[in-house]
């Protein structure tokens, strides 16, 4: 049983889980991954790369995916894990956690990008998969919606940084807030602008 409209990538894998992550580029917050096994008998129309969808459309599809998928799960890697492992390995860790949390064990996993997590079942990396493989598109939507919500919560917890607006990305507003307010526990200390802010704060005063 292949997932809804899945591409033929040269395998006949049976039940396929699509996997994707959100939040590799930000200076703060977790990286979130999702895994989705679509139900061919309950299609989800309009699936696409989450970055090409409006927030309202993502929210609507998020609800539909959760209702109609055979199985779905989300997982995260924390800022501390990102700093310890690096962002690539932390992203793969979050993906692995999401697949392992599925209530249905897939026969194969297709992950967006050119690197895939190591798992017990066959895994394939699909460059551009979030735009071409429906189950990966669904995973990208779940991951993006959840991460945006998490950043809105962090915006309330850490007022003044604008997390609810820029979602932790290195915007001018965000970098200025770090310089003005300092580094929070949610910031990724291994990322350049944060690392530089910490170095400036630790430097002895001039003169």
Q: Are residues 173 and 73 in the same domain?
A: no
Residue 131 is predicted with a pLDDT of: 95
In a domain, 60, yes or no: yes
121 and 186 co-located in one domain? no
CA-to-CA distance for 37 and 34, rounded, in angstroms?
Answer: 10
Work out whether strand 71-77 and strand 16-22 pair parallel, antiparallel, or are unpaired.
Answer: unpaired
Domain count along the chain: 2
pLDDT of residue 13: 55
- On whether both 64 and 137 belong to a single domain, the answer is yes
Residue 6, in any domain of the structure: no
Verify that 61 and 28 share a domain, yes or no: yes
What CATH number does residue 105 fall under? 3.30.420.10
Global pTM value: 0.92
Asked, for residue 9, whether it belongs to a domain, the answer is: no
User: Does residue 47 lie in a domain region?
Assistant: yes
Domain-embedded: residue 88 = yes
10-residue averages of pLDDT along the chain (207 residues): 45 81 98 97 95 96 98 98 98 98 97 96 96 97 98 98 98 97 97 96 76
DSSP alpha helices (H): ranges in 77-191? 79-85, 87-100, 129-132, 134-157, 163-166, 172-181
Task: Tell me if 4 is assigned to some domain.
Answer: no
Are 72 and 136 within one domain? yes
Q: What is the pLDDT of residue 206?
A: 66
- pLDDT, residue 101, reads 98
Record the tokens describing residue 141, joined without a space: 């939507």
| d(C-alpha 87, C-alpha 89), whole Å | 6
Query: Within this chain, do residues 130 and 164 fall inside the same structural domain, yes or no?
Result: no
Among residues 114, 111, 102, the alpha carbon closest in space to that of 20 is found at 111
| Statement to judge: residues 89 and 47 lie in one domain | yes
Residue 5 lies in a domain: no
Residue 11 lies in a domain: no
Considering the domain architecture, whether residues 77 and 165 belong to the same structural domain is answered as no
Q: Are residues 58 and 100 in the same domain?
A: yes
- pLDDT score for 14: 78
Q: Give one DSSP letter per residue of 57-82, joined into a string.
A: HHHHHHHHHHHH-SEEEEEEE-HHHH
The residue segments making up the domain with residue 89 are 16-149
pLDDT score, position 1: 32
């Amino acid at each position: 049983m292949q997932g809804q409209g899945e591409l033929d990538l040269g395998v006949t894998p049976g039940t396929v889980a699509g996997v994707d992550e959100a939040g590799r580029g930000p200076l703060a917050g977790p990286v979130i991954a999702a895994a989705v096994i679509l139900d061919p008998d309950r299609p989800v129309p309009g699936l696409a790369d989450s970055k090409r969808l409006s927030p309202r459309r993502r929210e609507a599809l998020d609800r539909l995916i959760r209702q109609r998928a055979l199985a779905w799960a989300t997982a995260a890697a924390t800022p501390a894990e990102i700093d310890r492992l690096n962002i690539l390995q932390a992203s793969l860790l979050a993906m692995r956690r999401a697949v392992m949390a599925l209530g249905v064990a897939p026969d194969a996993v297709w992950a967006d990008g050119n690197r895939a997590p190591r798992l017990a079942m066959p895994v394939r990396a699909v460059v551009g998969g979030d735009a071409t493989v429906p189950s990966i598109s669904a995973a990208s939507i779940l991951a993006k919606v959840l991460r945006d919500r998490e950043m809105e919560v962090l915006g309330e917890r850490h007022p003044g940084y604008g997390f609810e607006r820029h979602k932790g990305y290195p915007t001018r507003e965000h970098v200025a807030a770090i310089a003005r307010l300092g580094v929070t526990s949610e910031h990724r200390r291994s990322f350049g602008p944060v690392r530089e802010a910490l170095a400036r704060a630790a430097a002895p005063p001039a003169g």
